[in-house]
């Protein structure tokens, strides 16, 4: 449990598989949060899971304590590395104990599917995710796609299930405009239904393209 991190006094890796030292690990990581601090795993992600202020501080203190133990034990200091706070600190564990390399998942995928080659041929780039907020600028797919598109001066539109006020920072990361696909009041359960989501996505996408084409005619 996260609350137990602060109680750890020592640890040993003597029983770890020896074969692990012969392996190389490339970890797809979609966020660039450090392990702890105001932008760390606890402060950014714990409130999304229901943690209150007291719990967040307790979890953050535990992560800080564990990082100090790892530094003393292994002589390594990876808590400030981008992605160390991913998955509740799992990014830190991969690097500290497996010598893994963290790389944005969007970079791994785009290289594998040669996305940049397709973007070069495109007139308009459309991307999106479930919810656009301040995390969208932290190495996630929409801004990763936008970064590639801007290398070739392509306009970028993002579609999302919901859009938070803080999503405006996405404009600074290559997304020219974003749109929420919800067209009428509905519950989260209704919005998550595949048929509703598809209908809402089609309706919004059509209007976005109509606006785009209107601008091209002007």
pLDDT tens-digit series, residues 77-126 = 788 888 899 888 899 999 988 989 998 888 888 888 999 999 999 999 99
Select the more confidently predicted residue: 19 or 6: 19
Measured CA distances, 53 to 41, 60, 82 (Å):
14, 11, 24
Average pLDDT, integer, range 172-179: 95
The pLDDT confidence band at residue 32, using thresholds 50, 70 and 90, is: confident
Average pLDDT, integer, range 61-67: 92
Select the more confidently predicted residue: 139 or 133: 133
pTM, 2 dp: 0.65
Select the more confidently predicted residue: 139 or 24: 24
Contact 60, 10 (CB under 8 A): no
H-state helical runs in 99-140: 105-112, 115-121
What is the predicted pLDDT for the residue at 218?
A: 65
What is the predicted pLDDT for the residue at 160?
A: 95
pLDDT at 181 over 90: yes
162 phi, psi to nearest 5 deg = -150, 155
Rounded distance, CA 74 to CA 52, Å?
33
Contact 175, 154 (CB under 8 A): no
At 186-195, the pLDDT tens digits run 998 999 999 9
pLDDT at 201 over 70: yes
Percent of residues, the chain, with pLDDT higher than 90: 54
pLDDT at 210 over 90: yes
């Amino acid at each position: 449990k996260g609350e137990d991190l602060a109680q750890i006094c020592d640890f040993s890796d003597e029983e770890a598989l020896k074969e692990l030292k012969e392996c190389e690990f490339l970890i797809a990581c979609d966020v660039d949060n450090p392990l702890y601090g105001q932008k760390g795993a606890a402060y950014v992600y714990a409130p999304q899971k229901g943690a209150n202020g007291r719990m967040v501080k307790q979890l953050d203190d535990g992560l800080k304590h564990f990082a100090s133990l790892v530094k003393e034990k292994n002589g390594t200091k990876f808590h400030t590395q981008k992605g160390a706070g991913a998955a509740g600190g799992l990014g830190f564990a991969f690097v500290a104990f497996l010598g893994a390399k963290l790389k944005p998942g969007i970079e791994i995928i785009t290289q594998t599917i040669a996305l940049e080659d397709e973007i070069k041929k495109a007139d308009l780039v459309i991307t999106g995710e479930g919810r656009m907020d301040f995390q969208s600028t932290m190495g996630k797919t929409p801004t990763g796609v936008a970064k590639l598109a801007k290398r070739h001066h392509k306009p970028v539109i993002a579609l999302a299930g919901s859009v938070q006020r803080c999503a405006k920072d996405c404009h600074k990361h290559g997304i020219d405009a974003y749109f929420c696909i919800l067209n009428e009041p509905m519950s989260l359960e209704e919005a998550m239904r595949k048929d509703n989501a598809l209908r809402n996505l089609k309706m919004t996408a059509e209007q976005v393209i109509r606006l785009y084409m209107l601008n091209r005619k002007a």
